[in-house]
Amino acid sequence: MALHLSPSFCLFSITITFILVYVPTSVSAIHAKYENCIAPFRCANLENIEYPFWGASRPEYCGYPSYRLDCEGEVAEISIMERSCRVLDINNSNGTLTVALEDYWDDLCPSNLVDGTLNSSFFNYTSDTENITLYYHCPPPVKDISAALLPFKFNCSSEETDTNNYYFIWGNDRFNSNILYTISNYFENCGTNVTIPVRQSAFLFLKRYPASANVSKALKEGFDLQWYANSTLCDKCKDSGGLCGFDTDTDEFTCYCPDMPYSMTCPSKGTSHLFIHYLCITEFP
């Protein structure tokens, strides 16, 4: 299908191109959403936060819905699978954030023993993540393992009597398989168990220096999560000179360009005009 352009259309398009190319800033206004999303923001202890995060003064359309930060207190928080997490760090360049579970911050015995496993389509553990397991309300240990388990024991201050709570690191090479088997059977009889992610470095450290004081430290270091907020689309949008965002009307990713929002990327400057010139030249040489 050939495009048929009249000479007067060519003259018109050349004039428009001239106006757009030579007098752009005085004519077109910067779109308000582009203007509102351009500066990275600050949230509690964190600075230079960008898409997909939003919260505090940062409107939702500058971020992605599941990435709302609570900036009220001294530490930024995010809710993931209904668990409140402290945000210790955000790395925009590799798309990761470091979080610690609020419930287990400075407290191995929260009143609500929530499992720390996060199964979210918006976040994923990085390869640096390992698990530790906490066992609560266990029966008194049988004699053959009570000494072995001693370094893994912790007390809950809320409990008046000495109870049997343990953390454990599976894949532990300090025990032979017979003892591991007995330990595993013993833990079956505990009241509750929860899985908590920790960094690999903290995991290896705990393996070497098991002690309840060191567990609290490991939990405070948090663990890393990779985020998924249309990151591929976002990279393309940024490469085209846009800012990533979210269209709250269509519930989809959007790319804010200086003139207006686009669904994917900013139109490259002048390409469409060059195309018309090309057609004019080839059709009316």
CA angle 104, 109, 110 (to 5 degrees): 65
Which 36-75 positions form the footprint of ligand NAG (CB under 6 A)? none
By the rule CB under 6 A, 195 interacts with ligand NAG: yes
* Bond prior to 261 in cis (omega within 30° of 0): no
Binding residue for ligand NAG (CB under 6 A) from 187, 220, 265, 279?
187
- Among candidates 233, 240, 237, 243, which has minimal Cα distance to 269? 240
By the rule CB under 6 A, 185 interacts with ligand NAG: no
Instruction: Say how far apart CA 111 and CA 158 lie, in whole Å.
Output: 9
By the rule CB under 6 A, 84 interacts with ligand NAG: no
Instruction: Say how far apart CA 189 and CA 20 lie, in whole Å.
Output: 75
Binding residue for ligand NAG (CB under 6 A) from 126, 182, 216, 240?
126
By the rule CB under 6 A, 128 interacts with ligand NAG: yes
By the rule CB under 6 A, 162 interacts with ligand NAG: yes
Quickly list DSSP for 202-245.
Answer: HHHHHHHS--HHHHHHHHHH-EEEEE-SSHHHHHHHHHTT-EEE
Instruction: Say how far apart CA 116 and CA 245 lie, in whole Å.
Output: 30
By the rule CB under 6 A, 102 interacts with ligand NAG: no
By the rule CB under 6 A, 233 interacts with ligand NAG: yes
By the rule CB under 6 A, 262 interacts with ligand NAG: no
**Interface with ligand NAG (CB under 6 A):** 89, 91, 93-94, 96, 117, 119, 121, 124, 126, 128-131, 153-155, 162, 187-188, 193, 195, 209, 211-214, 224, 228, 230, 233, 253
